[in-house]
Amino acid sequence: MFERNPFAFTVNGSLWTIRYELAMYVLLALVSWLGGRRFRALYALWAMALAAIWLLAMRLDWPDVPAGAPVWFKDLWSMRQLTSLGVYFFIGSAFARADVKSHWWMAVLGASALLAARSSADAMVIQLGLWVGVSCMVFFLGFWGRNATRGQPHEDLSYGVYIYAFPIQQAVTEISLSRGWSLSVCMALSLALTLVLAAASWFWVEKPALAFTRNWLRKKRRRSAMSGAISP
C-alpha cells in the first residue's frame, strides 16, 4: 500500500509511539504508588534515572533489546526509545506535579538548549539539548497559547490530529501523485480532512468520554463523603 509515496508501504507511522505512551502511564502509576503523591521530586528523579540509563547505554554500547528476546519483542520495543521518550514524559510529570508556571526563562533555556543540540556533533549533547529544549519550549508555548486564548472555548483536537494525520496524508499524497496535483493542494486537502476527522473524534468520542469520567469520579467522591459523614 502507498508504494509510490515518498514514505512508502506505511499506513500510519505515528502510532508506533502509543505502546511507549502506555508503558509510561503504567510506570507513572507505579511511581505514584511508590510515593509520588507525597514526594514531588520523585518524578524528576525518574526523569534523571531514565536519562542516565540512556546515556550509559550509548556510552557502553548496551544492546537495545535483551539478548535472546523473541523477534516480536525486538520489533515492538527499544530500550533507547523507551528511555529517551520516558525522559520527556517524566519532565512533563515533574512540571505538572510541582505546578510549575510558564515563564520567559523557559523560552530562553529551551532555545539555548536547542541551539546547542543543533551546533553539536556529539550524540549525547544533542540528546541532552533535545530533552531540555523540547520540554521547555513545548511547556512555554503551550501555556502561552492557553493564556492568549483565556476566556475562549477550549477544544482539544491534538489526539485526533495525531491519530488521523498520517494515514490521511498518505492517502491524499497517493491521489495527488496519480492526478498531478501540486504540493500545496496536497497539503491543504490533507490538513482540512485531518481537522474534520479530529473534530469529529473530539466532539463525538473524546469529549463525551472525558465528561462521563469526570461525572463518575464526582459521584464516587460524593458517595464516599456521604458514607463518611453517616458512619459513627
Query: Which cell numbers in the block locate residue 83?
Result: 528511555
Predicted confidence (pLDDT) at residue 8 exceeds the cutoff of 80: no
Lowest mean pLDDT among 65-79, 120-134, 158-172: 65-79
Closest CA relative to residue 177, chosen from 11, 5, 24 = 5
Average pLDDT over residues 14-24: 88
- Grade residue 158 by pLDDT with cuts at 50, 70 and 90: confident
Q: What percent of the chain has pLDDT over 70?
A: 92
Using DSSP, state whether 156 is helix, strand or coil: coil
Instruction: Between 106 and 221, name the one with better pLDDT.
Output: 106
CA dihedral 20, 23, 25, 30 (to 10 degrees): -150
The answer for residues whose C-beta is within 8 angstroms of residue 210's C-beta and 6 or more apart is none
Cα(first)–Cα(last) distance of the chain, in Å? 67
Q: 76-88, pLDDT tens digit by residue?
A: 888 899 999 999 9
Q: 118-145, pLDDT tens digit by residue?
A: 999 999 999 999 999 999 999 888 777 6
pLDDT of residue 232: 55
Sign of the Cα pseudo-torsion (123, 125, 127, 133, in order): negative
Q: How many angstroms separate the CA atoms of 56 and 15, rounded?
A: 28
Average pLDDT over residues 177-197: 94
Chain position carrying cell 465528561: 211
State the CB neighbour count (10 A cutoff) for residue 102.
Answer: 18
Predicted confidence (pLDDT) at residue 187 exceeds the cutoff of 80: yes
Enter the pTM of the model: 0.75
Q: How many angstroms separate the CA atoms of 228 and 98, rounded?
A: 30
Predicted confidence (pLDDT) at residue 198 exceeds the cutoff of 70: yes
Domain range summary for the chain, segments of one domain joined by +: 12-100, 102-153, 155-232
pLDDT of residue 149: 58
